[in-house]
Chain A
Amino acid sequence: MRKLLKYMNEYKKEAFLSPFFKMVEAIFELFVPLVVAAIIDNGIGRADSSYVVKMALVMFALAAVGLVSSLTAQYFAAKAAICFTSKVRRALFEHIQKLSYSELDKVGTSTLLTRLTSDMNQMQNGVNMVLRLFLRSPFIVFGAMIMAFTIDTRSALIFVVTIILLSAVVFGIMMVCIPLYEKIQLGVDGVLSATRENLSGARVIRAFCNEESELRDFEDKNAILTALQNFTGRISAMTNPLTLLIVNFAVIVLIYTGGIEVNSGLITTGEVIALYNYMSQILVELVKLANLIITVTKAAACGDRIEAVLEIEPSLTSPDEEVKGSGKYIVEFKNVGLRYRGASKDSLTGLDLKVKKGETVGVIGGTGSGKTSLVDLLARFYDATSGEILINGVDIKEYPQPQLRSLFGVVAQKSALFKGSIRSNIRWGKADASDSEIMAALDAAQAKEFVEKKEGVLDYMIEQGGKNLSGGQRQRLTIARALVGDPDILILDDSSSALDFATDAKLRKTLRNRFSDKTVFIVSQRTSSIQHADTIVVLDDGKAVGIGKHEELLKTCGVYKEIYDSQFKKEAVS
Chain B
Amino acid sequence: MKGKKKTARKGALKKTLAHVSRYKLMIAASILLAAGTVTLTLYVPILIGRAIDLIVGKGSVDFEAMLRILAKAAVLVCATAVMQWVMNIINNRVAFLVVRDVRNEAFAKLQTLPLSYIDSHVHGDLVSRIIADVDQFSDGLLMGFTQFFTGVVTIIGTLGFMLSLDWMITLVVVILTPASLFIARGIARSTFEYFKTQSEIRGEQTALLDELITNQRTVKAFAHEEQAISDFDEINERLTKASVKAVFFSSLTNPSTRFVNSLIYAAVALCGAVAIIKWDLITVGELTCFLSYANQYTKPFNEISGVITELQNALACADRVFELIEAEPQTPDKENARRLQNAVGHVELKDVSFSYTPDVKLIEHLDLDAKPGMRIAIVGPTGCGKTTLINLLMRFYDIDSGSVSVDGTDVRDITRSSLRRSYGMVLQETWIKTGTVRENIVMGKPDASDEEIRAAARATHADRFIDRLPEGYDTVISDSSSLSQGQKQLLCITRVILSLPPMLILDEATSSIDTRTEAIIQASFAKMMEGRTSFIVAHRLSTIREADVILVMKDGHIIEQGAHAELLKKGGSYAKLYNSQFDV
- Pull 9 A–B residue pairs with CB atoms less than 8 Å apart, ordered by A: A44-B277, A96-B213, A97-B229, A113-B209, A234-B92, A260-B63, A269-B52, A379-B221, A525-B515
Q: Which residue of B lies closest to A234 (CB)?
A: B89
CB neighbours of B111 from chain A (8 A)? 198, 205, 211-212, 214-215
Within 8 A of A (CB), among B535-581: 540-542, 545-546, 565, 576-578, 580-581
* Inter-chain contact B216/A197, CB cutoff 8 Å: no
* Inter-chain contact A366/B514, CB cutoff 8 Å: yes
* Interface 1/0 per residue, B70-101 and A, CB below 8 Å: 10011001101110110011001100110110
Q: A341 in the interface, Cβ–Cβ < 8 Å?
A: no
CB neighbours of A79 from chain B (8 A)? 244, 248
Within 8 A of A (CB), among B482-539: 484-486, 492, 495, 499, 512-519
Q: A151 in the interface, Cβ–Cβ < 8 Å?
A: no
B54 touches which one: A192, A259, A401, A472 (CB < 8 A)?
Answer: A259
Given A40-B284, A256-B66, A405-B223, 8 further pairs, Cβ under 8 A: A74-B251, A90-B233, A199-B126, A207-B425, A230-B96, A262-B58, A265-B58, A418-B211
* Inter-chain contact A43/B495, CB cutoff 8 Å: no
- What is the CB-to-nearest-CB distance from A562 to chain B, in angstroms, rounded to a whole number? 6
Q: B362 in the interface, Cβ–Cβ < 8 Å?
A: no
- What is the CB-to-nearest-CB distance from A162 to chain B, in angstroms, rounded to a whole number? 14
Q: B311 in the interface, Cβ–Cβ < 8 Å?
A: no
Q: A509 in the interface, Cβ–Cβ < 8 Å?
A: yes
Q: B247 in the interface, Cβ–Cβ < 8 Å?
A: yes
Partner-contacting stretch, out of B19-27, B264-272, B353-361, B456-464:
B264-272
Q: Which residue of A lies closest to B514 (CB)?
A: A366
Partner-contacting stretch, out of A137-145, A237-245, A439-447:
A237-245
Q: A82 in the interface, Cβ–Cβ < 8 Å?
A: yes
* Inter-chain contact B288/A416, CB cutoff 8 Å: no
CB neighbours of A317 from chain B (8 A)? none
* Inter-chain contact B255/A248, CB cutoff 8 Å: no
Q: B224 in the interface, Cβ–Cβ < 8 Å?
A: yes
* Interface 1/0 per residue, B179-217 and A, CB below 8 Å: 000000000000000000000000001110111111111
Q: Report Cα–Cα, A78/B512, bound state, in Å.
A: 53
Question: Given A74-B255, A255-B48, A229–B96 Cβ distance below 8 Å?
Answer: yes
* Inter-chain contact B74/A204, CB cutoff 8 Å: no
Q: B15 in the interface, Cβ–Cβ < 8 Å?
A: no
Q: Report Cα–Cα, A211/B416, bound state, in Å.
A: 12
* Inter-chain contact B110/A198, CB cutoff 8 Å: yes
Q: B382 in the interface, Cβ–Cβ < 8 Å?
A: yes
* Interface 1/0 per residue, A407-427 and B, CB below 8 Å: 010101000101100000000
A258 touches which one: B55, B218, B251, B581 (CB < 8 A)?
Answer: B55
- What is the CB-to-nearest-CB distance from A66 to chain B, in angstroms, rounded to a whole number? 7
* Inter-chain contact A71/B581, CB cutoff 8 Å: no
CB neighbours of A40 from chain B (8 A)? 273, 284, 287
* Inter-chain contact B217/A101, CB cutoff 8 Å: yes
* Inter-chain contact B103/A222, CB cutoff 8 Å: yes
- What is the CB-to-nearest-CB distance from B366 to chain A, in angstroms, rounded to a whole number? 21
Which of A75, A208, A500 gathers the greatest number of chain B CB atoms within 10 Å?
A: A208
Question: Given A230-B96, A269-B284, A206–B273 Cβ distance below 8 Å?
Answer: no
Within 8 A of B (CB), among A249-287: 249, 251-252, 255-256, 258-260, 262-265, 268-269, 272-273, 276-277, 280
Partner-contacting stretch, out of B127-135, B338-346, B400-408:
B127-135
Question: Which label, helix, strand, loop or mixed, suits the secondary structure of the A interface?
Answer: helix
Q: B161 in the interface, Cβ–Cβ < 8 Å?
A: no
* Inter-chain contact B516/A263, CB cutoff 8 Å: no
Q: Which residue of A lies closest to B255 (CB)?
A: A70
CB neighbours of B266 from chain A (8 A)? 56, 59-60, 63
Question: Given A67-B259, A97-B219, A367–B513 Cβ distance below 8 Å?
Answer: yes
The 3 closest A-B pairs by CB, nearest first: A366-B514, A233-B92, A237-B88
* Inter-chain contact A241/B265, CB cutoff 8 Å: no
CB neighbours of A66 from chain B (8 A)? 255, 258-259, 262
Q: Which residue of A lies closest to B138 (CB)?
A: A229
Q: Report Cα–Cα, A559/B515, bound state, in Å.
A: 11
Question: Given A366-B515, A419-B211, A218–B107 Cβ distance below 8 Å?
Answer: yes
* Inter-chain contact A502/B107, CB cutoff 8 Å: no
Question: Given A49-B278, A196-B123, A207–B420 Cβ distance below 8 Å?
Answer: yes
Which of A99, A214, A248 gathers the greatest number of chain B CB atoms within 10 Å?
A: A248
Q: A328 in the interface, Cβ–Cβ < 8 Å?
A: no
CB neighbours of B206 from chain A (8 A)? 117
- What is the CB-to-nearest-CB distance from B563 to chain A, in angstroms, rounded to a whole number? 12
Q: Which residue of B lies closest to A567 (CB)?
A: B542
Interface size on B, residues (CB 8 A): 154
- What is the CB-to-nearest-CB distance from A105 to chain B, in angstroms, rounded to a whole number? 10
B420 touches which one: A206, A277, A367 (CB < 8 A)?
Answer: A206
* Interface 1/0 per residue, A182-199 and B, CB below 8 Å: 000000100111111111
Number of A-B contacts (CB under 8 A): 422
Q: A210 in the interface, Cβ–Cβ < 8 Å?
A: yes
CB neighbours of A262 from chain B (8 A)? 55-58, 61
Within 8 A of B (CB), among A339-375: 365-369
Q: A62 in the interface, Cβ–Cβ < 8 Å?
A: yes
Q: A83 in the interface, Cβ–Cβ < 8 Å?
A: yes
Q: Which residue of B lies closest to A505 (CB)?
A: B583
Question: Given A40-B284, A367-B513, A419-B211, A501–B577 Cβ distance below 8 Å?
Answer: yes
Which of B210, B221, B499 gathers the greatest number of chain A CB atoms within 10 Å?
A: B221
- What is the CB-to-nearest-CB distance from A363 to chain B, in angstroms, rounded to a whole number? 13
Question: Given A104-B216, A264-B58, A56–B270 Cβ distance below 8 Å?
Answer: yes
Q: B434 in the interface, Cβ–Cβ < 8 Å?
A: yes
* Inter-chain contact A64/B259, CB cutoff 8 Å: yes
Q: A179 in the interface, Cβ–Cβ < 8 Å?
A: no
Q: Report Cα–Cα, A544/B446, bound state, in Å.
A: 43
* Inter-chain contact A93/B229, CB cutoff 8 Å: yes
CB neighbours of B427 from chain A (8 A)? 203-204
* Inter-chain contact B277/A67, CB cutoff 8 Å: no
Question: Given A113-B209, A199-B127, A104–B217 Cβ distance below 8 Å?
Answer: yes
Partner-contacting stretch, out of A296-304, A390-398, A463-471:
A463-471
Q: Report Cα–Cα, A38/B274, bound state, in Å.
A: 14
CB neighbours of A219 from chain B (8 A)? 104, 107
Q: Report Cα–Cα, A547/B584, bound state, in Å.
A: 21
Q: Report Cα–Cα, A132/B248, bound state, in Å.
A: 11
Question: Given A206-B396, A226-B96, A233-B92, A49–B61 Cβ distance below 8 Å?
Answer: no
B221 touches which one: A124, A258, A410 (CB < 8 A)?
Answer: A410
CB neighbours of A525 from chain B (8 A)? 514-515
* Inter-chain contact A97/B228, CB cutoff 8 Å: yes
* Inter-chain contact A276/B220, CB cutoff 8 Å: no
* Inter-chain contact B104/A218, CB cutoff 8 Å: yes
CB neighbours of A35 from chain B (8 A)? 269
CB neighbours of A532 from chain B (8 A)? 584
* Inter-chain contact B516/A562, CB cutoff 8 Å: yes
Q: A308 in the interface, Cβ–Cβ < 8 Å?
A: no
Q: B165 in the interface, Cβ–Cβ < 8 Å?
A: no
- What is the CB-to-nearest-CB distance from A283 to chain B, in angstroms, rounded to a whole number? 11
* Interface 1/0 per residue, B110-144 and A, CB below 8 Å: 11100100100001001100110001000000000
* Inter-chain contact B104/A563, CB cutoff 8 Å: no
Question: Given A74-B255, A233-B92, A464–B211 Cβ distance below 8 Å?
Answer: yes
CB neighbours of A112 from chain B (8 A)? 213, 216
Question: Given A198-B110, A199-B110, A200-B479, A252–B74 Cβ distance below 8 Å?
Answer: yes
Q: Report Cα–Cα, A569/B515, bound state, in Å.
A: 12
Q: A508 in the interface, Cβ–Cβ < 8 Å?
A: yes
Within 8 A of A (CB), among B378-397: 381-383, 394, 396
CB neighbours of B81 from chain A (8 A)? 241-242, 244-245
CB neighbours of A210 from chain B (8 A)? 443
- What is the CB-to-nearest-CB distance from A70 to chain B, in angstroms, rounded to a whole number? 4
Question: Given A67-B256, A262-B57, A401-B223, A83–B240 Cβ distance below 8 Å?
Answer: yes
Within 8 A of B (CB), among A40-74: 40, 43-44, 47-49, 52-53, 55-56, 59-60, 62-64, 66-67, 70-71, 74
